[in-house]
C-alpha cells in the first residue's frame, strides 16, 4: 500500500507538472490573423495602344470571404476599334501595407492561369500576352481589342493548378482563385 501511494503521488505530480509547466501565459491575448493568401482586390488596367483614355476595372472585397459582396467599378467606356494593353494587379488589402499577390502568381506560373470570357453582346476579343516557363498562357498581361459599339460582360477567372496546356476554361479544371465579371460598354 505504501508503494502504491508513493507511485500514485509521483505520477500525479509528474502529470501535473508536465501539463501545467508548458502552459502559456493565461493573460496573453491571441494575435489577430491577417489572412495571407486572400486576394481582396483585382485591378485590370487597359491602356489604349494609340491615343485615348486608360480604363480601370476594379473589384474590391475588403472583408474577403465575409458577408459583404465585392465592390465592382469600371472607370469608363471603351472606344470602338481600339486595341488595349491590359495588365492585371492583385492585392491583399487586409494586410497593411497591402500585399502584392501578382508576383506570387507569376512566380508560380506553372500552377496558375487567367481566363478571359467575353459575354454575349460584347464585341471584343482577347489574347494572352505573357506565358509560363513551359510556354503555356499565364495571362496577367493581355490584349483586348474593342470591336463595334456594344455592351456585355467580361469575366476574369484565375485558376489554381489547372490542367496545362488546356483548350480553354471548360477543360482546365483546377480551383477558382478569382472570378470577377465587369460590365463593359464599347462606344
Please identify which residue in 130, 147, 153, 185 interacts with another protein, judged by CB under 8 A: 153
Smallest distance from another protein to CB 32, Å: 6
Answer yes or no: are the C-beta atoms of 164 and 133 closer than 8 Å.
Answer: no
Is residue 114 within a helix (H) or strand (E), and if so which, with residue range? strand 112-118
Q: How many helices (H) and strands (E) does the chain have?
A: 2, 10
Cell output for 80 = 470602338
The contact pattern for another protein, residues 28-67, with x = CB under 8 A and - = no contact, is -xxxxxxxxx-xxxx----------------xxxxxxxxx
Q: Is 141 near another protein (CB under 8 A)?
A: no
C-alpha closest to that of 155 among 115, 111, 112: 115
C-alpha closest to that of 163 among 136, 124, 129, 127: 136
Separation of alpha carbons 55 and 126, rounded Å: 15
Smaller CB separation from another protein, 48 or 72: 72
Smallest distance from another protein to CB 43, Å: 11
Which positions touch another protein (CB under 8 A)? 1, 4, 7-8, 11-12, 15, 18-19, 23-24, 26, 29-37, 39-42, 59-70, 94, 96, 101, 104-105, 107-108, 111, 115, 117, 119-120, 153, 155, 157, 159-161, 169-170, 173-181
Amino acid at each position: 500500500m505504501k508503494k502504491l501511494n508513493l507511485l500514485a503521488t509521483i505520477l500525479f505530480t509528474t502529470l501535473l507538472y508536465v501539463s501545467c509547466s508548458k502552459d502559456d501565459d493565461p493573460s496573453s491575448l491571441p494575435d489577430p490573423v491577417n489572412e495571407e493568401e486572400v486576394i481582396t482586390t483585382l485591378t485590370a488596367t487597359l491602356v489604349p495602344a494609340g491615343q485615348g483614355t486608360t480604363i480601370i476595372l476594379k473589384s474590391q472585397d475588403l472583408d474577403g470571404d465575409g458577408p459583404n459582396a465585392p465592390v465592382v467599378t469600371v472607370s469608363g467606356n471603351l472606344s470602338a476599334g481600339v486595341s488595349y494593353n491590359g495588365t492585371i494587379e492583385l492585392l491583399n488589402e487586409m494586410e497593411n501595407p497591402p500585399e502584392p499577390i501578382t508576383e506570387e502568381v507569376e512566380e508560380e506560373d506553372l500552377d496558375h492561369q487567367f481566363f478571359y470570357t467575353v459575354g454575349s453582346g460584347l464585341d471584343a476579343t482577347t489574347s494572352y500576352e505573357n506565358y509560363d516557363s513551359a510556354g503555356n498562357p499565364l495571362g496577367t498581361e493581355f490584349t483586348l481589342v474593342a470591336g463595334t459599339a456594344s455592351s456585355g460582360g467580361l469575366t476574369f477567372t484565375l485558376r489554381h493548378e489547372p490542367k496545362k496546356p488546356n483548350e480553354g476554361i471548360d477543360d482546365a479544371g483546377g480551383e477558382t482563385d478569382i472570378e470577377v465579371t465587369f460590365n463593359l460598354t464599347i462606344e
